[in-house]
Amino acid sequence: MPTTSTTVPPISKSGRSSKKPFYATLWVQVVFAIALAVIFGHFRPNAAVAMKPLGDAFIRLITMIITVIIFCTVVSGIAGMQDMKKVGRVGGKAILYFEMVSTIALALGLVVGNLVHPGSGFNVNPATLDPRAVAQYAGQAKAQSVTDFFLHIIPTTIVDAFAKGDILQVVLVSILFGFALSAMGPRCKPLLELLDSLTQAVFGVVNIVMRFAPIGAFGAMAFTIGKYGIASLGPLARLVGTFYITSILFVLIVLGAIAWVAGFNILKFLLYIKEEILLVLATSSSETALATLMEKLETLGCSRSLVGLVVPTGYTFNTDGSSLYMTLAALFVAQATNTPLTLTQQLMIFSVAVLSSKGASGVQGAGFIALVVTLSVIPTIPVAGMALVLGIDRFMSMFRALVNMIGNGVATLVVARWENELDRKTLQCNLA
């Protein structure tokens, strides 16, 4: 079955076309928009805050078609596969990979927090903190057992899964439909042809929407700078710098080593998805890059069914950036409020974060809410201490979402290599 990229050229291809001048490429336009937004937000903060609807509108344009893309991609991919055992095998390998890498991210955040001590010297009295600042997040934060988590995957109705836009629920529905159509045999051919045409049309819509990416990036970044200001990073520069550097090292060293073993260069992959990187940084949401990331991974040679299974599932289970943030920020709050933590308490934070980090990708502020859940298991840490990082959470969210997105791209290529879908030389050639 042909991939969508053969009919609807990916954004990156049009961006690399020799017929267009460099300033007409998407990534250059997004870079210019972000730079302009930073300047505008700094000198005209009030007017910049009013640009927020531009970013929100672009994010909504992308998210409104994500569930349709996932459904069409997964259903047509599974129904078109000859070996149904491959679906279970791919899913099992993906979950195993997700848990291993996200656990490494959690552990790294814990180690860095203990070595750097980003919260030392603050000497904040918890009694002086305003708990109302984080009250709305605490209200949304609910401790979730393993049973509750897996029950949540099952939607109340099929329509409900699409209405809520819950990615994992849509993946479940799509897998069931894919298996059902596969069992029908030749009778489902007309429906598969319809789904294939719908998939190509939806990716065509994505290409149209992506033309507005520079406007959306400008609106989102202008709002961030105008509302919070670069100066707001000053008091917490050590925490922000520690998180940024740790995230970069995680991508280059941990993901870089995984990529090297899988047969490709992490830097070449980052250049390949530069448009998605810029969009995620500007909007602080990894969902804005989901559709085009899936398209580009198919262009590299990953099968449609594998991409449809691994990428959406990874957006829930493979939250490397959120995992790094949660353990590091938890230690920061404890250190800033002079709350001593025993090794047992730190391991408890680690254990809870393994579960609470799931589902913290894609939605703005979800990582912050998951952190509130994690801190609540240690009564000695004042949850009100989260008010210390609330003002800079938008800046932290940029790198959380970015590492999440990059991690899912790498995961897909790794699983595809495990499944022998990608030849090492072909992959290197496509990335070059």
* Of 319, 229, 280, 224, the residue nearest 399 (C-alpha): 280
Res 3: pLDDT: 42
- Alpha-carbon distance of 355 to 373, in angstroms, equals 10
Burial label, 206 (beta-carbon count in 10 A; 0-12, 13-18, 19+): buried
Lowest mean pLDDT among 130-134, 144-148, 219-223, 234-238: 130-134
Lowest mean pLDDT among 176-180, 220-224, 349-353: 349-353
Residue 237 pLDDT exceeds 60? yes
* Of 289, 281, 395, the residue nearest 33 (C-alpha): 281
Lowest mean pLDDT among 8-17, 149-158, 285-294: 8-17
* Of 85, 72, 3, the residue nearest 419 (C-alpha): 85
Mean predicted confidence (pLDDT) in 124-148: 59
Residue 295 pLDDT exceeds 60? yes
Tens-place pLDDT, residues 343-358: 888 888 888 777 766 6
Residue 13 pLDDT exceeds 70? no
Alpha helix positions (H), 232-365: 237-249, 256-262, 266-272, 274-283, 290-299, 304-317, 320-336, 343-356
What share of the chain in percent tops pLDDT 90?
Answer: 15
Residue 2 pLDDT exceeds 50? no
- Alpha-carbon distance of 4 to 296, in angstroms, equals 10
Lowest mean pLDDT among 199-208, 232-241, 281-290, 297-306: 232-241
For the chain, the distance separating the N- and C-terminal CA atoms, rounded to the nearest angstrom, is 25
Confidence of residue 11 (pLDDT cuts 50, 70, 90): very low
Confidence of residue 249 (pLDDT cuts 50, 70, 90): very high
Could you tell me the two tokens for 419?
A: 């499944």
Average pLDDT in the chain: 80
Which residues lie closer than 8 Å to 173 by C-beta, 6 or more apart?
71, 155, 158, 161
Confidence of residue 153 (pLDDT cuts 50, 70, 90): confident
C-alpha triplet 243, 248, 250: angle, nearest 5°: 90
Mean predicted confidence (pLDDT) in 204-217: 87
Q: 220 or 26: which carries more pLDDT confidence?
A: 220
Residue 361 pLDDT exceeds 70? no
Residue 165 carries which DSSP code? T
Confidence of residue 272 (pLDDT cuts 50, 70, 90): very high
Three-class SS state of 263: coil
Residue 144 pLDDT exceeds 60? no
Lowest mean pLDDT among 130-144, 200-214, 242-256, 397-411: 130-144
Res 137: pLDDT: 53
- Alpha-carbon distance of 15 to 24, in angstroms, equals 7
Res 12: pLDDT: 45
Query: In the chain, what are the domain boundaries?
Result: 4-431
Q: 43 or 183: which carries more pLDDT confidence?
A: 43
CATH 3.40.50.1820 fits 4-431, yes or no: no
Mean predicted confidence (pLDDT) in 191-210: 85
- Give the burial string for 10-38 (b: 16+ CB within 10 Å, else e): bbbebbeeeeeeeeebbbbbbbebbeebb
Q: In this structure, are residues 124 and 336 in contact, taking their beta carbons and an 8 Å threshold?
A: yes
Res 10: pLDDT: 45
Res 351: pLDDT: 80
Res 38: pLDDT: 87
Lowest mean pLDDT among 154-163, 203-212, 355-364: 355-364
Residue with tokens 């493979």: 318
Res 114: pLDDT: 92
Q: 280 or 3: which carries more pLDDT confidence?
A: 280
Lowest mean pLDDT among 23-27, 160-164, 200-204, 237-241: 23-27
Three-class SS state of 338: coil
Q: In this structure, are residues 393 and 400 in contact, taking their beta carbons and an 8 Å threshold?
A: no
Could you tell me the two tokens for 312?
A: 């959406």
Tens-place pLDDT, residues 76-120: 777 766 666 777 788 888 889 998 999 999 999 999 999 998 888
What share of the chain in percent tops pLDDT 70?
Answer: 83
Q: 54 or 317: which carries more pLDDT confidence?
A: 54
